[in-house]
Amino acid sequence: MTRMLIIGPPGSGKGTQATRISERMDIVAISTGDIFRANVKEGTPLGLEAKKYIDNGDFVPDSVTNNMVRDRLAQPDVENGFLLDGYPRTGAQVDELDRILDENGQKLDAVLQLTADDEELVRRLLHRAELEGRADDNEAVIRHRLDLYHEQTEAVVARYLERGIVAKVDGIGGIDEVTERIMEALKSVTA
């Protein structure tokens, strides 16, 4: 059983790699971004609230995100483990995830950090926006999201580094190549 996070800047390949890792390790991949986008598309109250923040490139408030993750981690399909993508992004969310896991007698096993150059990420995200017609991905919003990542999320990684459960992997390269790097790096923190 493995409980892990995948962390990295927007455009670093987290979603692609999360799917591949979850298949290889037989654990559920949980993307907060996908859940938010589904709620926005369906026009739910959560979606309407989240949309205001997403459209500006801001993080959805901790209270909304924490409740969503708490509910999701209570589902039976996560009993064999999970891979969280997009959470936690702040120190307060780290504390909340610790509480959620502690209440269930669980702990986090590994944190996978994908790294990539900001200019490469801007290029990737602009290309993705063009292909997918994503209004939330223009250059100003992308750069704002990268700034937020550097300001807030890197502090989250520092907390997990103190616990000795972070595996850093270069997210640039072919998809298969990055997946193999990830699987090798995870051995160092899950052994």
Distance CA 142, CA 127 (A): 12
| Catalytic-residue membership of 128 | yes
Nearest to 153 by CA among 84, 82, 91: 91
Is residue 125 classed as helix, strand or coil in its secondary structure? helix
Which residues are bridge partners to 30 per DSSP?
84
Residue 105 annotated as binding? no
Residue 43 annotated as binding? no
Catalytic entry in 3, 14, 20, 51: 14
User: Is residue 119 a contact partner of residue 127, using CB atoms and an 8 Å limit?
Assistant: no
Residue 159 annotated as binding? no
Q: What one-letter code names the amino acid at 40? A: V
| Catalytic-residue membership of 134 | yes
Torsion of CA 33, 144, 67, 101, to 10 degrees: 80
Residue 86 annotated as binding? yes
| Catalytic-residue membership of 163 | no
Residue 58 annotated as binding? yes
Catalytic entry in 20, 51, 89, 124: 89
Residue 128 annotated as binding? yes
Binding positions for ATP are 11-16, 128, 173
Binding positions are 11-16, 32, 37, 58-60, 86-89, 93, 128, 134, 145, 173
Binding positions for AMP are 32, 37, 58-60, 86-89, 93, 134, 145
Q: Which positions are annotated as active-site residues?
A: 14, 89, 128, 134, 145
